[in-house]
Structure 1
Amino acid sequence: MTDTPPSSTTARPHYGAVDYRVDALSSDEQVTEAFHSAIGCNSDALAALAEHHSADGAHSFYVLHDRTATYAHPGAPHYLALHLRRDHKARTFRFDHQPLPLACMAEAWVAHRGCPPEAIAVSHPMPTDEATRLLERRIAGDGDHYALGWSYTDDDPHDHVTVAVLRALDEGAPSPFRVLAEEVDLDAWRYTLREGGFDTVDDAMAWCFDRLGGTVLPLPPVRPGSPRTSPAARPPTAAPTASKRSR
């Protein structure tokens, strides 16, 4: 596959323009307040990178980008996966949402809740190479084999990087701890995603802190193997981010 060259006309997110299709609906006070707190009050800072709506209008799925995520909480995930459920007869709605560090994780989250995977693919920024595309597809397919333990997004415009530590749910899996590292070139509007395998969480975290401190070391390869049947499937869930270590 030939990679698409960078272009100055590559689409950029449009913030503050997301239509959640709930204006004509109501809900109980608790749901309304929760939606406003999680989504509505920050709507000017949110952009829909991908969205899908069921034919009957009962379900909507979004992968959102929050450009202000790290303002009050350094290291917080920039992506927000959202599932809206509407009862048009009762004129009410419900919602679930989850902040996640990588767009492909947000895609997997909404797909787990019934969104057709091919309908929610994020198209920008663009992946730099085929290795990034293949890894993202595998993450989407293997999301129920791993739990997200920790992540940190450094939105330094000169070194925009996200690191995430995942733990295999099968204790017999090779390289039980994985590190995903995403680097974004904001000028070219492209990104690269890579994966490394670690035997201990301490080693995985040490690599992440080195990378966040500006030391770029090769990621160790994931050890091959045939893990046993994994525990019951479940989507990756986010854990609280930790403070970034001083550089």
Structure 2
Amino acid sequence: MPPSTPDFRLDGYEAVNDRVAECFWQHIEIDHRELTVLAEHHTPDDQHSYFVLHNGAVTWGIPGEPQLVALHLQRDVQARTFRFQHTPLPLPSMAQSWLIARGCPKESIGLRADMGPDAADEATTALEERLMSDCDHFALVTSYTDDNPDSMQTTVLLRAIDEKAPVPFRVLLEEVDTDTWTHTLREGTFTTFKEATDWWEAHWSGQGVLLPTAPPAARRTALPTKPSIPAPPAPRNGPSR
């Protein structure tokens, strides 16, 4: 087994019930050979495993779909059974944040240095660090991943869970330089859903629009006291084909 292929450490374990077994097969095991480990952590008592995975099978599916999977395995070491939670996400820092919110130590789920691409600048590193800590303050509305080697990039539209946030909509833009094998990540803020989706459509139509930025004080959002109303459906449109 190649080092980057996940070892789920489930030898001798069975799913806790048939529904979990079927879901694990449909969402994880069926693509096992296409999964690459970007980060992982296993607790000393073997009760929990956390993974950030890249699913290569997605590149052959619906254009724009998230290519990363955050996976949390929970084992009952006495009964020899397991459960799991997972979610597809577009950016590694978002997958890390999701796992941290489920008990994974932040310092234990760093990305493997050999998997790249590296952050191109301090602004990228700082934003990724912040997303790992407060990305759960936002709901994912939509994303689009373009893995064309000539223009590898990902856009993510988020909505603040706190309905009182002064700038409730945010767009993340990750761009990969395949010559240097580095990436940049930038954040833009919008006061309305229409403003955010107008930028989104202009960006993917090649208009070269810049992301509007927010002052540092507005970048963190207080933890919510109640769920927000979901944003209107957002288009998953990417580059014209």
Q: Same fold (TM over 0.5)?
A: yes
Corresponding position: 1:20 with 2:8: yes
| Pairing partner for 1:130 from 82, 106, 122 | 122
Rounded Cα–Cα distance in structure 2 between residues aligned with 1:39 and 1:51? 15
Match of 1:244 among 227, 238, 241: 238
Partners of 2:8 and 2:143 lie apart in 1 by 28
CA distance in structure 1 between the aligned counterparts of 2:4 and 2:11, rounded to whole angstroms: 15
Question: Deviations 1:163-213 (Å, cap 9, x if unpaired)?
Answer: 011111223323221110001123432111000111111221222222223
Could you say what secondary structure the match of 1:109 adopts?
helix
Partner of 2:184: 192
Partner of 2:174 in structure 1?
182
Find the partner of 2:203 among 211, 224, 234.
211
Gaps of 5+ in 2: 228-232
Contact 1:145 1:231 in 2 (8 A): yes
Structure 2 counterpart of 1:105, one-letter code: M
Distance in structure 2 (CA, Å) of the matches to 1:138 and 1:233: 23
How far, CA to CA, are the matches of 2:138 and 2:40 in structure 1?
25
The answer to whether the 8 A contact 2:34-2:57 is kept is yes
Give the alignment's TM-score, normalised by structure 1. Answer: 0.85
Identify the structure with bigger relative contact order (alpha carbons < 8 Å, sequence gap 6+).
1
Distance 1:121 1:172, change over 3 A: same
1:97 correspondence with 2:86: yes
Matched, 1:51 2:43: no
Query: In 2, distance between residues paired with 1:135 and 1:119?
Result: 19
Residue identity opposite 1:168 in structure 2: A
Sequence identity of aligned pairs in percent? 45
Matched pairs, number? 231
Quickly say closer, same or farther: Cα 1:223–1:230, change in 2 above 3 A.
same
Is contact 1:70–1:77 with CA below 8 Å preserved after alignment? no
TM normalised by structure 2 equals 0.87
* C-alpha separation in 2, matches of 1:104 and 1:118: 13
Matched AA of 1:111: I
SS at match of 2:65: coil
- For structure 1, the 5+ residue unaligned runs are 1-13
Match of 2:96 in 1: 107
| Distance across 1 between alignment mates of 2:222 and 2:39 | 32
- The 3 A distance-change label for structure 1 pair 70 and 205 is farther
**Distance (whole Å) between structure 1 residues aligned to residue 52 and residue 85 of structure 2:** 12
Please, which of 152, 159, 164 is the counterpart of residue 144 of structure 2? 152
